[in-house]
Structure 1
Amino acid sequence: MFQPTAVENARAFFEAIEGLGPRAGVTALAVGVVAVVGWLLLPRGVEKLRGSVIQWALAGALVRFTQIGLAAASAVVVLFTWNQGVYVDEFVAYLDGKTVLLGRVATSVALVTLAYVSARVVAEKVDGFGRQTDWITEHQEEIVLRVSQLSLFAVVGLGLLTVWGTELRGLLVGAGFLGIVVGLAARQTLGSMLAGFVLMFSRPFTIGDWVRVGDQDGIVTDITIFNTRLENFDGEFVVIPNDKVSNQAIINRSQKGLLRLRVDVGIDYADDPDHAKQVALEAISDLPEVVNAPPPQVFPKSFGDSAVVMEMRFWIDHPTPPRKWKAVSAVVTSVKAAFEAESIKIPFPQQELSGRAETGGFRVQDVTESTAEPVEPREQD
């Protein structure tokens, strides 16, 4: 049997390509028109309609329908170009007499278009409201937007089910039983979600705040519907469920923008507390790490075992852990240097030892008196 050679195979391949040239050209032209007009020119034209939110949203829907129409027309052209127009004829014949079906399809398209336009309008309104106000955070904007859009899509979904003749009574009963089962099985998750909504709108803290939640201390890095994430000072990330966050005391050190710190220092009982107070105040007030309003304060606090304890109070702005420790270090260093310059003694812990008078007291032996006999305590009469 005759076998074609490689040259004959190549010749046949190129003849087939030459025969496909016009069809391939029409196909490429159709795809190019759809890509250029539908995905390049139309979106740029819509950007000019941002003066009105409604016009912008409607223009966006018009762009989507135009893109779908161009894609459908291009598909029809390609089918006829490749002699597959019979599929188009069969589709048209199928639609003939399907008035109810076409009405449902048209109504569904109208509902989807309305949902699309409404969702874009809601998104634009929420974004504009967030830009005009300072009391709403980005997370709150996101929650409001998502809840609004989900509610809108739920209503449109029910409308679509009604249009297509779906019985809603049985569906709602089944959804009710499903909600009960899910609620019992995921009580903690639902509790965290509800607590997340409460945290979003009560705003006890925001991202970037330095907070203490229970026994966890750190910087807030993320707030979600279900949990709050902190980064502690060891570089570890702590994830706390929102229901745990809402049930514990929250200390926010960043909300006010100022934080008061306290450092204790002891002075010798022989030194003047008023003089030491003035020296400490001057040493603290000159530090750039400490703000002057509110002003620093120094108070004699208590009588210690070996010193009069004085409490130094001072404030820092934009509080963060690094700024706190930097300020504390600066205050300790500056006050110590100032006390040394004024000959104010910061005593070591010490105890005073004395003998009772009725026992005759005691005597500390000099180390040079190596031959001296120890003093025996007198016996009581």
Structure 2
Amino acid sequence: MSELLTEFDRLSELFPTTPLKFAVSIVALGLVVGVLLAYRRLHAWVAERARPLYADIASMALLIATCAVSLAVVLGVWGQTAELSRLYDDFGLGGDGVARAIFSFLLLVVTVIATRFVRRVIEEVLGSSSAVTAHQRKVTHRLSQVIIWSVSLVVVLGIWIEDLGSLLVGAGFLGIVLGMAARQTLGTMLAGFVLMFARPFEIGDWIAVDDNEGIVTDISIVNTRVRSFDGEYVMIPNDVIASSMVTNRSKRGRLRLEVEVGVDYRTDIDRAADLAKAAIEDIDEALAAPSPQIVAKSFGDSAVILGVRFWIDKPSARRYWTARTAAISAVKAAFEDEDIKIPYPQRELSGRAETGGFRIADDGETTPAGSPSDDGKSTEHRMTTPEDR
């Protein structure tokens, strides 16, 4: 190994002056930068002409070889390979150490290639399934990355550490302690995985969780981000969502709206219902199927309450309020055209027949001087019952 490094010292003799050394170093570094910039295009070019796995191997091998050669050239030009050889001898890195280092490096390279291969497999296998969303495919890919890298690091540690079992036992106890200390965080993360795979809602859905309502913009392992209708972003922990009642208003791609309207007790209910239904059918926001429905809901204090129900598609906050406003305007206009009264809240006062009812009495009293009354007096009207007489 030291003899191989010493061979690069000849470059310092070929380029004896400092400007030449700088020029060669810049060219070597520029070669690395050029390979890094052309890495993706090179990978795509090889993938078009061969298997993607071969493209991964070829592009990775080219990148590693370029970095190794450029580093050796820079060290050789500046005459530092002898110093590197001395450090190699001082640390006693024999053939066994070099072999382990090379094996560890190759294992890490294989791990990178394996993660890319698994990602392509996940995209090809799960990408054709409509039951699996892009977000779930991404989560599956992340989990596969964690598993592959964990196995690879354990193997690398096993190469360099003889008593790996004790280290793993210690790591297990440390994991238990950390799990007990951060059980809230772990519970939130587990709830996040459940949400990602159970799919009670997806990105873009309109949901309501307790007092929070809005459009889902992101689902992570820790929390779910919701954009409220006021334009604010609310971060809801996943464990809160898992333990709360969640309403998904856009799961089926449509939403039913209801507008309540009161009509006078003397109005023909069937006629008012027909007018309201015709008015709703004329607005653009309402779906034709399912058709609008008008139901009599209750006897109000001043009116019979009708429920005007209709559906909208692609529910969102904007479409919700636009459709609701259009429905109220259409029903009000239709009732006004047909002289159907939408009564104000009112109260009816009556006296008991067995007590003689009540009467309105006029009592004349003198008003203070300077009163605007024509005769200097005002009339006070009050209600009296037979008990007052």
Instruction: Judge same fold: TM > 0.5, yes or no.
Output: yes
TM-score by length of 1: 0.84
TM-score by length of 2: 0.82
Percent of matched pairs sharing the same residue: 43
- Partner of residue 57 from structure 1, selected from 37, 42, 53: 53
- Partner of residue 194 from structure 2, selected from 195, 198, 212: 198
2:251 aligned residue? 255
Q: Which runs of 5+ in 1 are unaligned?
A: 1-16
Residues 189-198 or 26-35, more deviating: 26-35
Higher strand share: 2
Assess, with a 3 A threshold, how the Cα gap between structure 1 residues 84 and 234 changes in structure 2: closer, same or farther.
closer
Cα deviation, residue 233, structure 1:
2.2
Letter of the structure 2 residue corresponding to residue 183 of structure 1: G
1:294 aligned residue? 290
Residues 242-251 or 73-82, more deviating: 73-82
Cα deviation, residue 167, structure 1:
1.4
Assess, with a 3 A threshold, how the Cα gap between structure 1 residues 24 and 52 changes in structure 2: closer, same or farther.
closer
Assess, with a 3 A threshold, how the Cα gap between structure 1 residues 113 and 25 changes in structure 2: closer, same or farther.
closer
**RMSD after superposition:** 3.1
Q: Secondary structure at the match of 1:361?
A: coil
- Whether the 8 Å CA contact 2:254–2:312 is kept in 1: the answer is yes
Cα distance in 2 between the residues matched to 1:41 and 1:145 = 25
Letter of the structure 1 residue corresponding to residue 152 of structure 2: V
Does residue 1:111 correspond to 2:107, yes or no? yes
Cα distance in 2 between the residues matched to 1:168 and 1:210 = 50
Cα distance in 2 between the residues matched to 1:378 and 1:82 = 121
Matches within 5 A, 1:50-199: 50=47, 55-87=51-83, 90=86, 98-199=94-195
Assess, with a 3 A threshold, how the Cα gap between structure 1 residues 319 and 74 changes in structure 2: closer, same or farther.
closer
Matches within 5 A, 1:218-367: 218-364=214-360
Letter of the structure 2 residue corresponding to residue 49 of structure 1: V
Cα distance in 2 between the residues matched to 1:29 and 1:289 = 66
Residues 217-226 or 124-133, more deviating: 124-133
**Deviation digits for residues 85-131 of structure 1, max 9, x if unmatched?**
53466478779992222322232233223212211101112233453
Q: Secondary structure at the match of 2:73?
A: helix
Cα distance in 2 between the residues matched to 1:274 and 1:182 = 68
Assess, with a 3 A threshold, how the Cα gap between structure 1 residues 374 and 235 changes in structure 2: closer, same or farther.
closer
Cα deviation, residue 247, structure 1:
0.4
Cα distance in 1 between the residues matched to 2:214 and 2:363 = 56
Assess, with a 3 A threshold, how the Cα gap between structure 1 residues 267 and 168 changes in structure 2: closer, same or farther.
same
Q: Which runs of 5+ in 2 are unaligned?
A: 1-14, 365-377
1:47 aligned residue? 44
Cα deviation, residue 367, structure 1:
11
- Whether the 8 Å CA contact 2:47–2:54 is kept in 1: the answer is no
**Deviation digits for residues 316-361 of structure 1, max 9, x if unmatched?**
1111122111111111111111111111111111222222222222
How many residues align structurally?
361
- Whether the 8 Å CA contact 2:359–2:385 is kept in 1: the answer is no
- Whether the 8 Å CA contact 2:361–2:384 is kept in 1: the answer is no
Cα distance in 2 between the residues matched to 1:332 and 1:153 = 60
